[in-house]
Structure 1
């Protein structure tokens, strides 16, 4: 299987736990015989989209075109980002807006038109990290950021199934962190 892993942390510092999770997933995928490509959002050069004209017809930055190529190439997409102020970081959202443009990810705004979803036939996994326990984010806060990415971006563009992993308590014990890394490695190996 061809897998593209997106480390969507806005800071390119490889010491972030997101980087370790992506690395563990990638290592597992390689062990499982999968081909892998990686995108590090914090290392890409692009501006924010500021109006509808830019989003529809604006020039696509080189780094974003390369990300689009990696997404087109893949059969499975992994998107990993940290939860900041209850949602994804601004740079992560900016990356998604630049990348999943009309005429790349879909042909029209008609959600009912399944043929307009240009990224059909690909599965995805969203990994969200946070300091709070995952259970609180999922049940008390309703995992709203995660649900929005899953439904309004990935499924809208044709991805399915879209699975999720909420990694809470990232500032916790080393044992907990190691268990999550091992879990990501197993998911990568299975291509899920």
Structure 2
């Protein structure tokens, strides 16, 4: 299977757990013979969109075209990010706005019709780390950023199924628990799940 991993943590510090999770997934996938490509938000340089015209018609920058090529290539797309203020970090949101444009991710709707989903036939996995317990985010906050990404971005463009994994209380993980999450990510990578 062809897998593209989007490491959405904007901090390039190797100590960030999201980076370790992405590495573990990639290692598991390669171990089982899957092809893997990586997109690392922390290492990308791109501008933010400010107008509808830029979103609809401006030529994407080289870094964005590269990310689009990696997403178009894959059968399975893995997005990892830390929860910041209840949502994706701003740089990751900016990347989504740049990448998932009309003409690449969807085709404009004809009158009275839903837009054509140009990325159909691909599955996805969302992995989110957070300071709060995952159960609090899932039940009290209703996992709104995950649901929004599943439905309003990935689902809108044709990805399905889109599964998620929430990892809570990351600042308090014991070494043993951290290792269990890394093993889980390796297993998900092996299974392309």
Same fold (TM over 0.5): yes
State the Cα RMSD in Å.
1.3
Partner of 1:33: 33
Are 1:5 and 2:5 an aligned pair? yes
- Aligned mates of 1:163, 1:143 — CA distance in 2: 13
Partner of 2:176: 175
1:42 is displaced (CA, Å) by 1.1
- Aligned mates of 1:6, 1:85 — CA distance in 2: 20
Q: How many residues align?
A: 191
Partner of 1:120: 120
TM-score, normalised by the number of residues in structure 1: 0.96
- Aligned mates of 1:52, 1:118 — CA distance in 2: 20
Ranges of 4+ aligned residues in structure 1 off by more than 6 Å: none
- Aligned mates of 2:109, 2:189 — CA distance in 1: 33
Structure 1, 175-184 or 149-158: larger mean CA deviation: 175-184
1:113 is displaced (CA, Å) by 3.4
Q: Which runs of 5+ in 2 are unaligned?
A: none
TM-score, normalised by the number of residues in structure 2: 0.96
Cα separation, partners in 2 of 1:176 and 1:70, compared to 1, 3 Å: same
Cα separation, partners in 2 of 1:6 and 1:98, compared to 1, 3 Å: same
1:33 is displaced (CA, Å) by 1.0
1:52 is displaced (CA, Å) by 0.3
- Aligned mates of 1:147, 1:112 — CA distance in 2: 23
Cα separation, partners in 2 of 1:163 and 1:112, compared to 1, 3 Å: farther
